[in-house]
A and B are shown apart, each in its own frame.
Chain A
Amino acid sequence: MAKRIDISGLSAFYGSHKAIEDISMTVEPRSVTAFIGPSGCGKSTFLRTLNRMHEVTPGGRVEGKVMLDDENLYGKDVDPVAVRRTVGMVFQRPNPFPTMSIFDNVAAGLRLNGSYKKNQLNDVVERSLKGANLWNEVKDRLNKPGSGLSGGQQQRLCIARAIAVEPDVLLMDEPCSALDPISTLAIEDLIGELKERFTIVIVTHNMQQAARVSDRTAFFNLAAVGQPGKLIEIDETERIFSNPSVQATEDYISGRFG
C-alpha cells in the first residue's frame, strides 16, 4: 500500500558536520519523485533519513519530522527496524549477499525476518523476480550464487529483494549509475510499473532519466563546499524541466552551472 511522506524541517548531521538543512517537502503516493542536484549536496543523506538508515552511520543524527501518512518516523517509540520494513531501499552499487543463491537473495528479507510460511516463499520469489523483470533470465538457475549475475542483473536482483518484503515506499539511490543503456531502460520500465503499487523516490544524475520516469522532481543545491545542502524547489517534472521558478534550477538542468 503506497503511502504519502510529509517531511518538515529536516536536518541531518555527520558528527558535527551538518549535511542537509531544514528540508520540507511532500512525496505523493503512487508516484515517482526524482531528486537531482550536484554531487555532495546531500541527496543520498536525505534519502537515507527517510528509512532511518542515516543513523546507521557512526555519528549520524537527524532533526525534524518525517510523517509516513500519520506516523512520525522519528517519534519517540518508533522502532527503526519496523520503519525499514515499510520503507525499502535499493543502493547505488548492486549488493547481493555473496553467500546466498539467487533464490535465497530474494527470499532473504522474509527469511531473516522470520515472517513467512514455507509454501509462500516460492510464490513470493517468483512474483518478485517477475516484478523486477529478471524472472526469464534466472528461472533456470535459481540455486546459483547471486554474485554470478551481470551488474544490471544484480541490480534488478536487489530490486526484487527489496520488493519481496512488500514495502510501502521504495527508495532508490542512483540505481542505474553503473548500468548499460539496455539495463537502464529495463529498470526505468520497471519503475513505471512499480509506481502503481509503491511510492517511489529515485536519486539520479541523469536529467533525461528524471524527465522520463518521474512525476515530480526536487532540486537540491548547496551554497558552497562545506555548507549544508538545501532543497531549492520541488514541482511537477514538466514544470521543472520547462519553466522552473528558480534560476539555479534552470542553470543546473541546462548545464550552465557553477
Chain B
Amino acid sequence: MSHVVQDRRPVTTVRVNHLSHARLPRWAQPAIAAGAVAAGIGLGTVAGWQSRTQWGMLAALLFVLASYLITAKVEGKRQARDRVATSIVWVAFVLAVVPLVSLSWVTVSNGLEVLDPYFLSHSMNAVLDAETGGGVYHALLGTIEQVLIATLIAAPVGLLTAVYLVEYGGGRLAKAVTFFVDVMTGIPSIVAGLFVLATWNLILGFGPSGFAGALALAILMMPVVVRSTEEMLKLVPNELREASLALGVPKWRTILKVVIPTAIGGITTGVMLAVARITGETAPVLLLVFGTKLINPNPFEGAQASLPLYVYEQYAVGTDASISRAWAAALVLIAFVMILNLVARGIARWKAPKTGR
C-alpha cells in the first residue's frame, strides 16, 4: 500500500512549479504589432489591394492572431486568451483614435492656410465670395455672446433643478421632472429651434436675434446640466450633510456652503461639457440668429453670425477662397471648445476637495 502513497507525492511538487512559468519579454507585444503592420502592408502590396483600409484590417487580424499563437506557444492557453483580449482592446483603441487624429490633422492643415490675426479681427463686410480676405470676427463674437447668454440661463436653472432632485426630491414631482429631463435630452436641436421660432418669433413677434438663438441653445443645454450636476451631487457623501446639519446649520445653508462647494469641480466640468456641446449647434442658429456678414455686437437686436453657421455658409458658397475660410473657422471653433475644456479642467482641479497636507 505504501508505494501508492509515494507515487502521488510528485504531483504536488509539479503544482508548485506552476506559480512561475516562461514569459514573453515586454517588447514582445509591440514587436508583434510592428510585424503585423509590416505583414499587412507587404501582403496588401503583393495582392495589389488599393484600399489602405484593407491593409489595416489585415494587419489588425494578423496582430490578434499572432498574439494568440505566440503567447499560447510560450506562456500557455490562459495567458494567450488574456493577451487576445488585450490586443483587441488595442485594436479598438486605434480604430477610435484614427478618425480623431485624421480629423484634427485635416482641420489644422487646411485651417492654418488663412488663419491669422487679420482673419480673427475682421468681418466679412464687403468681401465678395470669390475674394480672399475677410474674417471670422463677427461670427466669433456672435458665438461667444450666444453661448454666454445660453449658459447664464441654463446653468442656474439646471443647477437648481438638480439640487431639487437630489436634496429635496423623492416624491411624484421629482419623478416627473426626471422623466421630462430625460425626454429633453433627446430633443433634436432643430426642434428646439422651431419651438423658439414658433413662440418667441411668431407668437410674440420678435425678429431674429442672438438672444432667440441663445434661448434654443439653453433648451438644449439644460438637461445636460441637470444630469451631470445630479450625478455630482449624488457623489457628495451623506456624512458631510449630516455633519453640517448636526452643527445646527439649516438645510439650505448646508447645501449652499457644504454640498455644492464639495461638488463644484464636477459641476463646472459638466457645465463646460454642455457648453462645448451647444457651441457647435448650427440648426437653431440658422433659424433664429439668421447669419450676417456684418459685426453686430448687440445680441438682442438684429441678425448675428455664429461660427458653425459661418462654416456652413462659407462651405455652401463653394469658391476656393470661401472653402479655405470655412476650414479656418472650423479650426477656430475647435480651438474655442478646447480652450473652454482646458479652463473647465483647470477650475475643476483648483476647486476639487483638497487632500494632502
Chain B proximity of A123: nearest CB distance (Å): 18
Interface residues in B314-357 (C-beta closer than 8 Å to A): 351, 353-357
Contact with A along B246-268 (1 / 0, CB 8 A): 11111001100110011010000
B244 within 8 A of A: yes
Are A99 and B239 within 8 A (Cβ)? no
What chain B residues lie within 8 Å of A51 (beta carbons)? 246
Interface residues of B (CB under 8 A from A): 170, 237, 239-250, 253-254, 257-258, 261-262, 264, 351, 353-357
- Evaluate contact between B354 and A93: CB separation under 8 angstroms: no
Complex Cα gap A93–B238 (Å): 12
**For residue B258, which residues in chain A have a CB less than 8 angstroms away from its CB?**
97, 99, 112
Complex-state Cα separation, A56 to B240, whole angstroms: 13
Pairs A-B, 3 closest by C-beta atoms: A85-B248, A98-B353, A145-B354
Q: Are A141 and B248 in contact (CB under 8 A)?
A: no
A98 & B247 in contact (Cβ 8 Å cutoff): no
Residue pair A53, B246 in contact (C-beta under 8 Å) = yes
Least CB distance from B281 to A in Å reads: 34
Flag if B249 contacts A148 (CB, 8 Å).
Answer: no
Task: Tell me whether A229 is interfacial, beta carbon within 8 Å.
Answer: no
Inter-chain CA distance A99–B256, complex, in Å, is 13
- What's the minimum C-beta distance from B50 to chain A, rounded to whole angstroms? 59
Q: Are A95 and B243 in contact (CB under 8 A)?
A: yes
Contact of A93 with B244 in the complex, beta carbons under 8 Å? no
5 contacts between A and B (CB under 8 A): A51-B246, A95-B242, A99-B262, A111-B257, A148-B356
A258: Cβ under 8 A from any B Cβ:
no
The size of the chain A interface, using a CB distance under 8 A, is 33
Tell me whether B357 and A144 are in contact (CB under 8 A): yes
* B-facing residues in A82-129 (Cβ within 8 Å): 82-86, 88-89, 91, 93, 95-99, 108-109, 111-113
Q: How long is the Cα–Cα vector from A112 to B255 in the complex, in angstroms?
A: 11
**CB contact between A113 and one of B249, B262, B357 (< 8 Å): that residue:** B249
A158 contacts the other chain (Cβ, under 8 Å)? yes
- Cα distance A99–B95 when bound, in Å? 41
Which residues A175-230 have CB closer than 8 A to chain B?
Answer: none
For A56, list chain B residues within 8 Å (CB). 241-242, 245
A95 touches B355 (CB 8 A): no
